[in-house]
Amino acid sequence: MDRIDFQKSVEAGRLVYNRGDSSKMNYLFNCITAFVLMILPFAPNFGVNQYISSLSSPQIFVFAFVFDSWMIANLLLFNSLLVIEGVSLQSRRQDMRKALDEGSLEILDTNGDHLIRYIQYPYSYSSQKRLITCLYTENKVYLNISSLDRRDEPSLFGVFFNYMRCRQVARVFKQLQGERQEN
């Protein structure tokens, strides 16, 4: 796993890694794959083959438009951090752990009080491992959830759904922080 540059990540609002060459190639491969998948349904009508000319049908165009919108959202949300306000550092760590505790979590990496990375193992064979990154500052928590591919690298294709999971975790976290403030 690559090391996260804490200060640059907080300033940029997205995860910034101290990357090695393999991580740069993985990110480049993800972008090229996304680009190819986005332009593939818009293949020109060659008229040579009935199958190829059927790619220009209105149904395929609508599918391609929806798919491309989803891929663009994934590219824009890749490595983005969701910012959540919190009370105190210790309570934020405990409440974030409770908000995330929906499955088996294992601490993967820690950097003092400012960074914790968890790995969440899948419930079933069909689901993926998730990498959960929490960055803690004075009064905020920065959260990112990434699905991992077979090589344990963040995958581009589940980014939108992981962002929605982050928002769900943020709601639970805010409820826990609200209860803590009332007491």
Domain 82-182 has what CATH class? alpha beta
**At which residue do the structure tokens 């609200």 appear?**
178
pLDDT, one tens digit per residue, over 40-68 is 665 554 444 455 555 566 777 777 778 87
pLDDT of residue 131: 84
Q: Is residue 157 within 8 Å of 150, Cβ to Cβ?
A: no
CA dist 134 and 147 (Å) reads 15
CA dist 97 and 166 (Å) reads 13
Q: Is residue 134 within 8 Å of 143, Cβ to Cβ?
A: yes
pLDDT, one tens digit per residue, over 113-146 is 677 777 777 666 656 788 888 888 888 889 998 8
pLDDT, one tens digit per residue, over 63-90 is 777 887 888 888 888 888 999 887 777 7
For residue 72, give the amino acid letter. I
Backbone angles phi, psi at 4, to 5 degrees: -90, 135
Question: Domain boundaries in the chain?
Answer: 3-77, 82-182
179: its two tokens: 């209860």
SS3 for 153? coil
DSSP state, residue 143: E
pLDDT of residue 44: 55
